[in-house]
């Protein structure tokens, strides 16, 4: 193993320049809750670590165009404790709260959760459902992409070597909208999802669903947005028939593996159940606002 170096630049431009200029392997580090474990187990052997926690742009939560922008390196606890954000996006908070312990959430970031690209990353489906857009900065400039385009497979992303995920934008919520995330784990706390489902929906004045987004985790090589599941809800009062159609659509989209935490059959079944329950919670939350 070569010599490891750490840099903690103050600007995104400086961070991008460091990544672009490194001939060997380089890694961005935000909370380090994935990276440090991987370093310790020699899963990765980078020459350069670029810490981004001193860059204000990636560490800030702010209101923007009636919505929210939060930096990729904002920690889980900072999101949970941000009263206005937590009130607007309870489903995103459901998911963030499930990331490890209080200690882990004190460091873990949503940006890191995305870029680690685990199929079972908890905040990812919630951000898919929230219709979030990611701002990515690299040597060629800035680009905005739907968050669905970040992960391409387990541990792989669409970011170039010199690119950094800077922030997420969550659009203004219509009235009567709600979101929810549920996951299944054998243990209540400190466990990895066997299946996870996020539902975000909005209702018209008469209680009919006007828009919906449904995302599923831990049942494919990456988190999936399921349009057919959203279609099962749109135009309905989210009644039992719609929820049954939702479960069918979600199960049809699952392509899980068998592993020590759950069999294929079990994962597919439980994902349908979670989808129905998450939709009911999202519906109740939509009714409150």
Ligand X SMILES: Cc1cc2nc3c(=O)[nH]c(=O)nc-3n(C[C@H](O)[C@H](O)[C@H](O)COP(=O)(O)OP(=O)(O)OC[C@H]3O[C@@H](n4cnc5c(N)ncnc54)[C@H](O)[C@@H]3O)c2cc1C
Q: Site for ligand X (CB under 6 A): which residue of 12, 59, 92, 109?
A: 109
**Contact with another protein (CB under 8 A) among 15, 50, 74, 77:** 77
Give the span between the Cα atoms of 56 and 80, in whole angstroms: 19
Q: Is residue 16 part of the contact set for ligand X (CB under 6 A)? A: no
Rounded to a whole number of angstroms, the minimum distance from the CB of residue 181 to ligand X is 11
Region near ligand X per CB under 6 A, out of 97-105, 143-151, 243-251, 264-272? 97-105
Q: Which residue has the tokens 């990611």?
A: 134
The entry of another protein, ligand X, none that residue 251 binds, CB within 5 to 8 Å by partner kind: none
- Determine, following the binding rule CB under 8 A, whether residue 61 of this chain makes contact with another protein: no
Taking CB under 6 A as the binding criterion, the range among 92-100, 247-255, 270-278, 281-289 that sits at the site for ligand X is 92-100
x/- track of binding to another protein for residues 182-221 (CB under 8 A): ------xxx-------------------------------
Q: How far is 15 from 165, CA to CA, in rounded Å? A: 11
Q: Check residue 29 for interaction with another protein (CB under 8 A).
A: yes
* The two three-digit tokens of residue 269, written as one number: 């079944």
Rounded Cα distance, 201 and 177, in Å? 6
Q: Are 176 and 200 in contact (CB under 8 A)?
A: no
**Distance between CA 93 and CA 244 in Å, rounded?**
26
Q: E strand or H helix at 211, and its extent?
A: strand 209-217
From the CB of residue 88, how many other CB atoms can be counted at a distance below 10 Å? Answer: 20
Angle at which helices 264-288 and 240-253 cross, to 10°: 140
Beta strands 5-7; 48-51: pairing state: parallel
Residue number, 181 or 243, with CB nearest to ligand X: 181
Q: Does 195 bind ligand X (CB under 6 A)?
A: no
In the complex, what is the shortest distance from the CB of residue 187 to ligand X, in angstroms, rounded to a whole number? Answer: 10
Among 12, 16, 34, 197, binds ligand X (CB under 6 A): 34
Hey, what are 118's tokens?
């685990």
Q: What does DSSP say about strands 26-29 and 61-64: parallel, antiparallel, or unpaired?
A: unpaired
Are 176 and 212 spatial neighbours (Cβ–Cβ below 8 Å)?
Answer: no
**DSSP of 114-171, one letter per residue?**
HHHT-TT-SHHHHHHHTT-EEEEEETTEEEEEEGGGTEEETTEES--TT-EEEEEEEP
Return the range that interacts with another protein (CB under 8 A); candidates 99-107, 109-117, 198-206, 260-268: 99-107
Residue 60 contacts another protein per CB under 8 A: no
Stretch near ligand X under the rule CB under 6 A, chosen from 107-115, 169-177, 199-207, 233-241: 107-115
Residue 242, φ and ψ in degrees, nearest 5: -65, -40
* Contact footprint for another protein (CB under 8 A): 3-6, 8, 29, 31-33, 36-37, 39-41, 49, 51, 53, 75, 77, 100-104, 106-107, 188-190
* Contact footprint for ligand X (CB under 6 A): 27-35, 37, 52, 72-73, 98-100, 104, 107-109, 111-113, 115-116, 121-122, 159, 164-165, 192
């Amino acid at each position: 193993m070569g010599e490891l170096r750490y840099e903690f630049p103050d600007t995104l431009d400086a961070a991008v320049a460091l990544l672009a200029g490194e001939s060997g392997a380089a890694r961005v580090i935000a909370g380090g809750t994935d990276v440090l474990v991987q370093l310790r187990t020699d899963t990765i052997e980078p020459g350069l670590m670029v810490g981004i926690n001193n860059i204000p742009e990636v560490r800030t939560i702010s209101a923007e165009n009636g919505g929210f922008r939060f930096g990729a390196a904002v920690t889980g606890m900072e999101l949970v404790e941000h009263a206005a954000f937590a009130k607007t996006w309870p489903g995103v908070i459901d998911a963030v709260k499930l990331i490890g312990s209080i200690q882990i959430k004190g460091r873990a970031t949503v940006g890191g959760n995305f870029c680690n690209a685990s199929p079972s990353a908890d905040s990812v489906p919630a951000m898919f459902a929230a219709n979030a857009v990611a701002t990515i900065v690299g040597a060629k400039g800035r680009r905005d992409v739907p968050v669905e385009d970040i992960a391409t497979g387990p541990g792989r992303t669409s970011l170039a070597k010199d690119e950094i995920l800077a922030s997420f934008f969550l659009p203004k919520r219509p009235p009567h909208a709600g979101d929810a995330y549920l996951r299944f784990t054998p243990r209540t706390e400190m466990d990895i999802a066997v299946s996870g489902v996020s539902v975000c929906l909005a209702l018209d004045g008469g209680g009919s669903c006007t828009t919906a987004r449904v995302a599923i985790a831990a049942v494919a090589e990456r988190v999936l947005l399921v349009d057919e599941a959203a279609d099962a809800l749109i135009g309905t009062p989210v009644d039992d028939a719609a929820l049954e159609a939702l479960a069918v659509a979600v199960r049809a989209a699952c392509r899980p593996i068998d592993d020590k935490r759950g069999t294929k059959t079990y994962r597919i079944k439980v994902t349908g159940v979670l989808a129905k329950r998450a939709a009911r919670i999202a519906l109740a939350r939509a009714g409150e606002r």
